[in-house]
Structure formats: C-alpha cells, structure tokens
Amino acid sequence: MGPSQPDEPSTPARDARRDLALAWAVGFTMWGLLLSIDPLLPAIQAELALTFTLRSLVLALPFLSMAIAAIPGGFLADRSGIRRSVTLGGAIATGGAALRAVPGGTVLLLTAAVVFGVGLGLVIPNLPKLVSTRYGRDRGGFATGVYSTGLITGSVAGVYATKPLADALGSWRWALLVWAVLGTSVMAAWALLVSPVDPRPRLSETGFRSLVRRRELWVLAFLFAAGNASYFFLVGNYPPYLTSRGLGLDAALGQLALLIAVGVPAIFLAPIMSDRLRARRPFLWGPHALIAALLLLIGRLPLAAIPAVSIGLGLAEMAIFALVLLLPVDLFSSEEVGRGSGIVVSFAYVGALVGPLAAGIAVDLSGSFEGVLEAFALLSVLAALATFALPETGARGGRA
C-alpha cells in the first residue's frame, strides 16, 4: 500500500530545480508538437486531398496511441527511472513529429501520428514520477503547478503560433520541422542534464495486482477521463455552438482562445493553492460542479455573459487537469507512481477520444447542442460526486 509518511526527495535542491525546468521544457515541446498540427489541417487537407474522416484521424490517432502507450510508459518509469524513460519516449515522439514533415502521402502522415502518440504516451507518466522522486509530497503542488504550465503554454503555442510560422516559412511542412527540431533539442538537453538519480525498485506482478485493486486508482481515472472528455468537446465544438447562438465566427474563436488562455494561471495556481489550504478535493469537486452549472446555464444566458462563461470553463478545466496530475503523488508510493499515472492517463485520453466523438454523433442526429451540453453537465455532476470517494490527502501532504 506504500508508506504512510511523505516521500523524501531523492536529489539535492539545485538538481531538483534544474530537473523541474527541464520537465517544463519537455511538457512545452510535447504538447506544442501535439497541437501544432491542428491549425495546419486546412492546408494539409487541401494538399493531400484528405477526406474529413482522414483529417479527423490525423488529430485522433495520437490520442489513441498515447492511451495505449501510457500504461507501458508507467511501467518503464517505475522500472528504469525518468531519465531513460523520457529520453526513449521523447526520441520516439520527436521522430514521429519529424516524419510528419517528410514529403509523402496520407499513409505516411497517419503513421507519423501513431508513432508520435506512442512516444508521448511513454513520456507522460514520468511527470508525476519526477514530482514524487525530486520534490516529495510536501512540495508536490508547487512542482506540479510549475511543470503543468509548460503543458498548457505549449498547447497555446502549438495552436496559435504554428500557422503564422507556416505562413512566414511558406510551407506547413517547414513549420512542423521547426517544431520537431525544437523537440529534439529539448530531449537532448534532458538526456544530458537531468539528474541520473532514480529509485529503481524491483517490480512484481503481485504489486501491480494490488495497485489495480485500489479504488482510488479508478476514481482518479474516471475524474481525468471526464475532465478530458468535456475539455476536448469544448475545444472542438465551442465556436460552432456559439455561432449557432448568433455570435460571429471571429468572436466565437476569440472565446475559445479566452477559454484556453485562462488555463495558464489556473493550471499553475490550483495545485499550489491546494498545498497552501492543505486540501485537494475542493479543487476537484468544485471545478466539476462549476462546469456542470455553466453548461446547464449557457443556453439561457445572454451573449454578453459568454466571456464570463468562457473564463469559468477554462479555469475549471485546467484546475481539474492539474489536480489529477498531482494526486498520483499523494495516493501512490514512489514505487507505484509511474504505473498508477500510466493507467490514469490511459483512461484519460480514451475519454478525450470518446467524449467528443459521441458528442459529434449526437449533434448530427439531433441537430442541436442542447442535449449534448446537458449530457456533459451530468457527467461533471457524477465526477464531482465521485471526488468524495477519494481520501483527502492535502491535510497530511500524503496518504494515510
């Protein structure tokens, strides 16, 4: 079941700060690489004559392969340590990212998407593992808040900087290559500079069986999957919904940008505030309840209130994201954090796939967003209630 006392950091403070800065850079480049393809899809579709189904696969396949690779990525993190695991995963991810820029047809592009997602799935479970081994549970909120800003900042840069970069370079392939070179440089820095000290426990089948029987593992997986489902539904459907309400397209896209942008302070502050207040659960059930309320009310609110809704949704979604990345550090021992995080992340990105897909089918069948908004509100209510099945770890800095 793991130790009852907080884990002790395994590296000196200076090395831990350097490793955290490297983790920020890894998160920035990995999520930038993930979402840099999104603004280029119209140009890619036109050049390669993609159907809309194939265009959707370019976005969906990294999430699918990420979900599959996250579980072995967690095993690798616990067995080999974060230095080797992130180096391997990052090399695969940047290789897949570079492959997207190679002249070729649809098969090559889809293959690159799969390879990139596999590498990213190997990287993700190492981030909570780094917090556990470098900072311990007492400073887990601070460390999670810092590296998480790399994820959201990379997402924003991928979505909003890649198209101007492609325009300046004259080709979407060159823009993707620039991102791949950046990723390669960051991974080289990681491999050369990150502290080599890592606990390397001997893993046993019995230990894994004990882990998967833990209720909190599956509650956490559900909370992350529910948050991802609603977030990626909003990323794909918020502008079309707002235009159906009568908002202009540019204004609707601006509201999506606002929703994403406010995630930067939220993802930093939520875990740190949970440390200061010595409470984790309010930063999960509260945001889920807020999402439910806003999705139920948005259809009844005037357009003038939409900016406030966008801010509320962005703050809530990223608070959930940050806390679910932090909680494996509280709930699992340092020997289990990688595997636990891998399972949680795997289910989270299944939610990122299934939620928006099911919503799209429902909108096509009903011709309305109202039923879908109500369904996601209900999902958020269930997630808020499920939070109370988790122990409150914030007051102890760790699980009792």
What number is the average pLDDT over the span 130-137? Answer: 78
How many Å apart are CA 55 and CA 52, to the nearest integer?
5
Percent of the chain with pLDDT over 90: 36
Residues with Cβ within 8 Å of 227's Cβ and at least 6 positions away in sequence, in order, are 288, 317, 320, 321, 324, 348, 351, 383
Cα angle 285, 292, 313; round to 5: 85
What number is the average pLDDT over the span 9-37? Answer: 85
How many Å apart are CA 69 and CA 98, to the nearest integer?
19
Residues with Cβ within 8 Å of 230's Cβ and at least 6 positions away in sequence, in order, are 291, 295, 317, 355, 376, 379, 380
Question: Does residue 180 surpass a pLDDT of 90?
Answer: yes
The pLDDT value given to residue 33? 93
CB atoms within 10 A of CB 105: 10
What number is the average pLDDT over the span 7-36? Answer: 82
- Dihedral-angle region of residue 332 (phi above 0 means left; psi in -120 to 50 means alpha; beta otherwise): beta
- Cα 78 to Cα 86, 135, 386: the distances in Å are 12, 16, 28
Q: Are 140 and 61 in contact (CB under 8 A)?
A: no
The pLDDT value given to residue 237? 81
Question: Does residue 203 surpass a pLDDT of 60?
Answer: no
The phi, psi pair for 320, rounded to 5°, reads -60, -45
Q: Are 349 and 63 in contact (CB under 8 A)?
A: yes
Q: Which has the minimum average pLDDT: 121-135, 155-169, 386-400?
A: 386-400
Topology match between the domains 12-198 and 207-390: yes
Q: How does residue 5 score in pLDDT terms, banded at 50, 70 and 90?
A: very low
Q: How does residue 7 score in pLDDT terms, banded at 50, 70 and 90?
A: very low
What does the block give as tokens for 141?
Answer: 């909120």
Question: Does residue 383 surpass a pLDDT of 90?
Answer: yes
What residue segments make up the domains of the chain, in order of their start? 12-198, 207-390
Question: Does residue 6 surpass a pLDDT of 50?
Answer: no
Per-residue pLDDT tens for 101-116? 998 888 999 999 999 9
The amino acid that residue 275 corresponds to is D
Question: Does residue 370 surpass a pLDDT of 50?
Answer: yes
Question: What is the C-alpha R_g of the chain?
Answer: 20
How many Å apart are CA 240 and CA 233, to the nearest integer?
11
Query: What's the whole-number average pLDDT of the chain?
Result: 85
In three state form, how does the secondary structure of 291-352 look? Answer: HHHHHHHHHHCCHHHHHHHHHHHHHHHHHHHHHHHHHHHHHCCCCCHHHHHHHHHHHHHHHH
**DSSP per-residue letters across 199-225:** --PPP-HHHHHHHHT-HHHHHHHHHHH
The amino acid that residue 143 corresponds to is A
What number is the average pLDDT over the span 286-302? Answer: 94
How many Å apart are CA 382 and CA 363, to the nearest integer?
22
The pLDDT value given to residue 9? 53
What number is the average pLDDT over the span 156-183? Answer: 93
Q: Between residues 181 and 195, which one has the greater pLDDT?
A: 181
Per-residue pLDDT tens for 207-239? 667 777 888 889 999 998 998 888 888 887 888
Helices (DSSP H) in the chain: which residue ranges?
A: 13-35, 41-48, 52-80, 82-100, 106-123, 126-134, 140-169, 172-193, 205-212, 215-244, 249-261, 263-277, 282-297, 306-331, 337-366, 370-386
Residues with Cβ within 8 Å of 70's Cβ and at least 6 positions away in sequence, in order, are 121, 122, 124, 125, 341, 342, 343, 345, 346, 349
What does the block give as tokens for 142?
Answer: 């601070």
Regarding the domain with residue range 12-198, which homologous superfamily does it belong to in the CATH classification? MFS general substrate transporter like domains (1.20.1250.20)
Q: How does residue 206 score in pLDDT terms, banded at 50, 70 and 90?
A: very low
- Torsion sign, CA atoms 67, 71, 73, 78: positive
Q: How does residue 127 score in pLDDT terms, banded at 50, 70 and 90?
A: confident
Q: Between residues 373 and 199, which one has the greater pLDDT?
A: 373
The pLDDT value given to residue 139? 76
Question: Does residue 13 surpass a pLDDT of 60?
Answer: yes
Please, what CATH class does the domain formed by 207-390 belong to?
mainly alpha
